[in-house]
């Protein structure tokens, strides 16, 4: 009789400067067979160091910490080798910190008072390569905080190199992803099979270097395929 194979586990680094908050997250994660706590960090600097050392699959990242905050820590973690997925914890869903976290490379965010099952589902989703934030909400965040985008007075815009290798159809699909369309909506409105849409999306992510659909929305926005709504 073949022995049963243990289910794969997702390792999580918990980053929060509040010991009781970290304890609560640890207790929740340790109650799950498929999740494992890789370690804990109480500062952004410690999070960057421990991510490189422990190589977790997911970093559960608080934003407001003394010294290096969660935004800068996320940016440095994503830029490193073997970068994990980062799930930002913020106070409000339409928050400048959530916006900054996504632009720094996070795969999604959750509000800190999310239900335990929502937190667990979010960790599992980003570990699987999915985004926790709906593209439509990402788009609303980008629109809300468009004035935070850096500007270079007197310097003409140049084409974004991330979209240079896209076909016309891929550019069209990236544009509507940036507008918050789901795969089903893209298939229905562009008269494509949903499997074909999924293939296009996978190619778009690979060509643009976007880690997930949320990052694809940001690429579309940055490349001016999508304009901020008034």
Residue (of 178, 177, 197) closest to 188 by Cα position: 197
The whole-number pLDDT of residue 133 equals 79
- The Cα 87–Cα 119 span in angstroms is 10
The whole-number pLDDT of residue 90 equals 85
State the residue for tokens 């001016």: 224
Residues facing residue 11 across a β-bridge = 36
The whole-number pLDDT of residue 154 equals 43
Residues facing residue 108 across a β-bridge = 87
- The Cα 55–Cα 81 span in angstroms is 10
Q: State pTM to two decimals.
A: 0.79
- The Cα 154–Cα 156 span in angstroms is 6
The whole-number pLDDT of residue 5 equals 56
- The Cα 108–Cα 50 span in angstroms is 21
Distances (CA, A) of 190 to 3, 176, 184, 214: 48, 10, 10, 21
Q: Is 103 exposed, middle or buried (0-12, 13-18, 19+ CB in 10 A)?
A: buried
Q: Are 58 and 127 in contact (CB under 8 A)?
A: yes
- The Cα 152–Cα 175 span in angstroms is 24
- Stretches where the chain sits below pLDDT 50 are 151-156, 230
């Amino acid at each position: 009789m073949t022995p049963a194979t243990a289910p794969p586990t997702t390792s999580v680094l918990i980053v929060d400067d509040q010991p009781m908050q970290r304890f609560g997250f640890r207790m929740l994660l340790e109650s799950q067979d498929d999740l494992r706590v890789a370690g804990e960090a109480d500062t952004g600097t410690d999070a960057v160091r421990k991510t490189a050392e422990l190589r977790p699959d997911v970093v559960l990242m608080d934003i407001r910490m003394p010294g290096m905050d969660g935004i800068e820590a996320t940016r440095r973690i994503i830029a490193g080798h073997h970068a994990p997925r980062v799930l930002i914890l913020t106070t409000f869903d339409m928050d400048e910190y959530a916006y900054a976290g996504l632009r720094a490379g996070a795969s999604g965010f959750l509000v800190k008072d999310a239900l335990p099952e929502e937190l667990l589902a979010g960790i599992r989703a980003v570990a699987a390569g999915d985004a926790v934030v709906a593209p439509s909400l990402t788009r609303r965040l980008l629109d809300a905080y468009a004035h935070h985008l850096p500007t270079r007075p007197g310097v003409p815009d140049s084409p974004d190199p991330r979209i240079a290798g896209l076909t016309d159809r891929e550019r069209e699909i990236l544009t509507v992803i940036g507008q918050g369309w789901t795969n089903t909506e893209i298939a229905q409105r562009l008269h494509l099979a949903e499997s074909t849409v999924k293939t296009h999306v996978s190619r778009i992510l690979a060509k643009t270097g976007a880690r997930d659909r949320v990052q694809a929305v940001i690429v579309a926005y940055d490349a001016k395929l999508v304009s901020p709504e008034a």
